[in-house]
Amino acid sequence: MIRVLFMGRKEVGRGALQWLLNRDDVEVVGVMTDNHLEYSPTGELAADRSLPLYTFEAALRLLEQGKLDHDLSLSMLYWRKLKKEFLSTPSLGAINFHPAPLPDYKGTAGYNLAILNRMDEWAATAHYMDEGDRYRRDYQGFLVSNR
């Protein structure tokens, strides 16, 4: 059983969280999402399933105290840069899914460039995170084309 701390937002985060919750080999130990917004699809699902819903600060405090045990930090469009505790505490590390090719399109709105620049191809990135922002370690890109 893999114990996951899930960090996600928007409908895609909700979908990823639902996928994890449907698995028999995953236990979601907590969820971090858009606590700064009035509505969060990911937060709504977490509340519906009675999962612990953490603010960034509360989760960080628990990690510093050794009270948020998990094997994997999983980020899906999470909007905050994670501190070292989120990356180094879990035994399996931390994986991020970013909707743009890294390292060229960092930030929360990189994928908007695909639309604004009428690009024919775009990519998403799945990668292990580390404290040095090195996106190429175990990097995997996914190319999307409108051809």
pLDDT tens-digit profile of 48-65?
999 999 999 999 999 999
So what's the pLDDT on residue 145?
Answer: 47
- With a cut of 70, say whether residue 139 has pLDDT above it: no
Choose between 124 and 145: higher pLDDT.
124
Burial 3-23 (b: 16+ CB within 10 A, else e): bbbbbbbbeebbebbeebbee
CATH architecture classification, 2-145: 3-Layer(aba) Sandwich (3.40)
Task: Return the bridge partners of 80, or none.
Answer: none
Q: CA–CA separation, 126 vs 147, rounded Å? A: 23
Q: What is the pLDDT of residue 134?
A: 52
- Chain segment 7-45, per-residue pLDDT in tens: 998 899 999 999 999 999 999 999 998 777 788 899 999
The pLDDT-based confidence of 144 (bands split at 50, 70, 90) is low
pLDDT of residue 133 exceeding 60: no
Say how far apart CA 135 and CA 126 lie, in whole Å: 9
